[in-house]
A = this chain, B = another copy of it.
Amino acid sequence: MNLLLFTPEERRPDGTVAVGDRRLQHLREVHGKKPGERVRAGELGGLMGDAEIVSLSENEALLRPSLHTSPPGKLPLILVVALPRPKMLRRVLRSAAEQGVAEIRLLHSYRVEKSYWQTPVLKEATIREYLLQGLQQSRDTILPRVSCERRFKPFVEDTLPGLTRGRRALLAHPGDHPPCPRGIAAPTVLVIGPEGGFIPYEVEKLQQAGCETVSLGPRILRVETAVTALVARLF
């Protein structure tokens, strides 16, 4: 945890913040902080800076934040990724938040097991928890937007054209395609398939919707590795 995040609702009338959960544990056990010391802190959706530890007990830390810095800019990226299995989903959410992805759309596709849509990881509070872990790691206060697209065809036909307006649309797909561009730093929609890849029908639909098909080379990467690698290559 490189940044202690709190919500505006956690502010007391005098501006201080009391934390008693995992953040308290982290302050005590990992950072070994004592009253009077300072810790890097940020308000979710707002500024970053540090906070003075006013008091610290086994049950509660009282913090007085002093915030003055804007969070780092988000990458102008909408990541559309076929819903991975739950364990990998957790890591994708965390690392995409860590890297500064602005928006994540979890998409159904033929090779996504239907049971994946039942995972508790998709509960709003759980998604938020993994995103927060990413923000606390990379020092950011802005949660990426996350939504679920449970029907492939309506998404690609009706929603995707709106998303790609004014944005470059890339489909990362194994095979003999042009290499994924580097350092484009422009508004982008990046579409990544499931383990095993999109089926030919899906690739065709995505191409019809305006996606350029690009490759990351001859190696088949796990979805979580591919997400991190593609984001790092594009921005």
Contact = CB atoms under 8 A, between A and B. Distances in A.
Contacts of A221: 98-99, 137-138
Given A228-B232, A233-B232, A219 B183 contact: no
A8 interface: no
Contacts of A65: none
Given A229-B229, A230-B232, A232-B230, A219 B98 contact: yes
Taking residues whose C-beta sits less than 8 angstroms from the other chain, chain A's interface range is 20 to 34
Contacts of A217: 72
A220 to B, nearest CB: 5
Contacts of A232: 216, 228-230, 232-233
B138 A219 contact: yes
A100 interface: yes
Contacts of A139: 218-220
Closest 6 CB pairs of A and B: A229-B232, A138-B219, A72-B218, A228-B228, A232-B232, A232-B233
